[in-house]
């Protein structure tokens, strides 16, 4: 199956789970989803540990639902609520059908594959362009984050629940944004140099750029 087909099937599964009303129908679809995950595990599309972690993560919200829905307050205290139990069962089934199908069908795909597949499924051209660009820069920004974090760890920073940690985290956020803005400046200049963009913002003052560059190095 090609990547767009896999994504389309995952979408259809989620839609099916939302539309089906009978418990037995949902159970049957859950069976299909469970088999799909098993097939993904057998075909080694992803490691079993990764699949299990994803399934556990998926059920965190379901756990929250089971902690809250089956109870209601009466005059005397907590009481069992049958309507809540039924709703919780349906939510668990729907959540797991959509989640398991998504995990099985998209196993082994990365952000680029997902974005390319979504773009090919008839997304408006400009939105698809934005999606692909964002994924392309996601890696760049992750690297920036790692750089900044390593620099801070090298200076003995350990996150704790105190004011200093807040300040350092805010600095990390600001630095990541500064990197993004400076990179955007360079991209805009490169586009202008190639005659691609008609309207480009005026470059920032030289002094600011120099100040930031030295600021990063001293960090």
Residue with tokens 């989803």: 33
How far, in Å, are 22, 101, 127, 133 from residue 66 at the CA level? Answer: 20, 22, 38, 40
Q: At closest approach, how far in Å is the CB of 77 from other proteins?
A: 14
CB of 47 to other proteins, least distance (A): 15
Residue closer to other proteins (CB basis): 36 or 102:
102
Measured CA to CA in angstroms, residue 61 lies from 27, 92, 101 at distances of 19, 9, 17
Residue with smaller CB distance to other proteins, 39 or 56 = 56
Residue 68 interacting with other proteins (CB under 8 A): yes
Q: State which of residues 137, 147, 157, 219 lies at the interface with other proteins (CB under 8 A).
A: 137
Q: Is 194 in the site for other proteins (CB under 8 A)?
A: no
Interacting span for other proteins (CB under 8 A) from 29-37, 38-46, 87-95: 87-95
**Percentage helix, strand, coil, to 5, in the chain?**
75, 5, 20
Contact (Cβ atoms closer than 8 angstroms) between residue 3 and residue 111:
no
Residue found under tokens 């990764």: 50
Asked if 172 interacts with other proteins (CB under 8 A), we say yes
- What string marks each residue from 21 to 50 as x (binds other proteins by CB under 8 A) or -? ------------------------------
Of 5, 38, 164, 208, the one binding other proteins (CB under 8 A) is 208
With contact defined as beta carbons under 8 Å apart, do 115 and 132 qualify?
yes
The owner of tokens 């005397």 is 76
Q: Please tell me whether residue 103 binds other proteins under the rule CB under 8 A.
A: yes
Check residue 202 and report its DSSP letter: P
- 124 binds other proteins per the rule CB under 8 A: yes
Residue 133 interacts with other proteins (CB under 8 A): yes or no = yes
């Amino acid at each position: 199956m090609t990547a767009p087909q896999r994504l389309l099937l995952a979408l259809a599964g989620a839609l099916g789970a939302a539309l089906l009303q009978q418990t037995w129908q949902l159970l049957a679809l859950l069976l299909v989803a469970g088999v799909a995950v098993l097939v993904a595990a057998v075909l080694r599309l992803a490691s079993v540990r990764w699949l299990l972690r994803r399934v556990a993560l998926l059920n965190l919200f379901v756990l929250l639902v089971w902690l809250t829905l089956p109870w209601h307050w009466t005059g005397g205290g907590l009481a069992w609520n049958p309507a809540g139990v039924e709703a919780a069962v349906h939510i668990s089934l729907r959540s797991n059908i959509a989640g398991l199908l998504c995990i099985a069908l998209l196993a082994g795909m990365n952000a680029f594959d997902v974005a390319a597949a979504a773009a090919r499924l008839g997304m408006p051209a400009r939105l698809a362009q934005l999606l692909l660009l964002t994924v392309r820069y996601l890696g760049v920004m992750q690297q920036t984050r790692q750089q900044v974090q390593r620099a801070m760890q090298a200076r003995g920073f350990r996150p704790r629940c105190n004011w200093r940690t807040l300040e350092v985290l805010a600095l990390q956020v600001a630095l990541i944004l500064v990197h993004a803005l400076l990179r955007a400046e360079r991209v805009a200049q490169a586009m202008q140099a190639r005659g691609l963009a008609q309207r480009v913002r005026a470059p920032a003052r030289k002094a600011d750029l120099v100040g930031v560059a030295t600021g990063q190095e001293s960090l």
